[in-house]
Amino acid sequence: MASLSRVFTRYYSSVMAAAAKSAVADATAAVKKTAVKKTAAKKSAEKVATGPKKLTGILKPMPISPALTEFMGAAESSRTEAVKRVWEYIKANNLQNPQNKRQIFCDEKLKTIFDGKAEVEFIEVAKLLSQHFVKAS
């Protein structure tokens, strides 16, 4: 019997040690997860405190040419907004070729901003609009 209790004690000790290690690991993981959440919350709070992001690249409003100003109704615009408004105008006035949707028929208003072309491909729209944005010195 004595040998049986010794075996049981050794087994019980090893099982309890493994359980203790597991509990410590779980507690450590919980602490790390809480720390990560606090860090993420702190970063998002800093973003809110610093205000909105500064617009750059194609999202940055820039001065535009007189022809595009007349079309858009504003003295400055971002490149994305200009393309969006041109496409809205094209769709509203049904200026796409029904057989080839990539082709756009230009009316008089579009000819002023598309170098007087009667037809343009949709891929040319951004290229033709880029010349209307005043380059920074």
SS3 for the chain is CHHHHHHHHHHHHHHHHHHHHHHHHHHHHHHHHHHHHHHHHHHHHHHHHHCCCCCCHHHCCEEECHHHHHHHCCCEECHHHHHHHHHHHHHHCCCECCCCCCEEECCHHHHHHCCCCCEEECCHHHHHHHCCECCCC
- Domain match, 72 and 30 both: no
User: Which parts of the chain sit beneath pLDDT 50?
Assistant: none
- Domain match, 45 and 67 both: no
**pLDDT score for 121:** 92
- Domain match, 46 and 63 both: no
**pLDDT score for 23:** 62
- Domain match, 48 and 107 both: no
Range of the domain at 42: 1-52
- Domain match, 80 and 17 both: no
In a domain, 94, yes or no: yes
* Residues 6 or more apart in contact with residue 109 via CB below 8 angstroms: 71, 89
Number of structural domains found in the chain = 2
In a domain, 135, yes or no: no
In a domain, 85, yes or no: yes
- Domain match, 48 and 100 both: no
- Domain match, 84 and 46 both: no
Among 52, 71, 91, which residue terminates a domain? 52
